[in-house]
Amino acid sequence: MFELGDQHDAQEFLVALLDTVGEELRLASPAGTVAQSLPSHTVLGDVDALARQWRSAHLMAHNSLVTHLFSGQTVQRVSCPRCAASSFCCDAFSSLFIPLLYPAAQDWQVSIEDCLAECFRDECVEMAARCSECKEMSAQFVRRQGLYCLPPYLVLCVNRFKKDAYGMFTRKRTTSLRFGERLHMGPWMSEAVVPAARSESGGIHWADVDRPRSRRGEYALFGVVNHVGDLYHGHYVSYCERSDHWFLFNDKQVTESPVSPCERPGCGSEVYILFYRSLTHCC
């Protein structure tokens, strides 16, 4: 990955590193264990059973310390616009790539919660297909993605660098991201496996009181990677928390930071990768 001295993307390197270390640390399945195939999808079936079976098969196929520490799971729902019938499928992630929104006219920052909401919003998918329930052809379907299982260590990558159609970086956005030392992921847990509650006004919401603690998604920030500079002349620095103290890593220099990265002036416009540790037991 490091040829000719070129600058390489930290997020791409992180994904490659986790994949490589995960393969090297993969554990052999216990004797007598029967390999499970990943269930593909369900239509109007037991979604929770699908998600649990998928998780079990995935952990067996990728049985390593990296998987158990960094791997989460999403549930995706695709719905027919005519009859609202839905099909569900699952996928794994070692990091979540979140969009960097444009701030409102009266603000100069965008919150990490708004970016996560954009990541998990409903979207229309252009595809011509016949619904298996109503048998009608449709050109558009509605897709929604939610979190089924959160990892003990959550990695969020901010989509700060734009690419062209050929996959080449074209520019860097300097929009400031507002983030804190605590992050609550509960609002984006999949409604497929977490019952919805209705407010007095009739709107659907996801109340923490209706969830077991393992599904509330409470996290604490412990690491940040910043990209300083522009697209062609940049430099990576990182912050790491240890024993309630923050330290700045800049090449060979390590210095204690008087404040956390989220309180450091200018850090929001440079933040690229965020590392969180779970404060609750995850499934």
Residue 10, Cβ density class (10 Å: 0-12 exposed, 13-18 middle, ≥19 buried): middle
Q: According to the model, what pLDDT value does residue 199 have?
A: 42
Pairing of strands 169-172, 161-163: antiparallel
Other beta carbons within 10 angstroms of residue 179's beta carbon come to 23
What are the percentages of helix, strand and coil residues in the chain, rounded to 5?
A: 20, 40, 40
pLDDT for 206 equals 40
- Report whether 81 contacts 141 (CB < 8 A): yes
Rounded Cα distance between 181 and 274, Å, is 10
Residue 282: other Cβ atoms inside 10 A? 18
The residue extents of the domains of the chain are 41-193+215-278
Per-residue model confidence (pLDDT) at position 29: 57
> Which one-letter DSSP state was computed for residue 9?
-
Nearest to 39 by CA among 93, 75, 70: 75
- Nearest alpha carbon to residue 153 among 208, 226, 212, 217: 217
**CATH superfamily placement of domain 41-193+215-278:** Cysteine proteinases (3.90.70.10)
pLDDT along the chain (283 residues), means of 10: 58 88 76 54 72 86 89 87 80 92 80 92 81 76 86 93 78 90 88 47 42 68 93 88 94 94 92 93 49
User: Which residue has tokens 């952990």?
Assistant: 59
CA 100/CA 97 separation, integer angstroms: 10
The pLDDT tens digits of the residues spanning 241-259 come to: 999 999 999 999 999 999 9
**Of 217, 208, 213, which is closest to residue 182 (Cα–Cα)?**
217
Residues 6+ apart with CB under 8 A from 105: none
Q: What is the pLDDT of residue 250?
A: 94
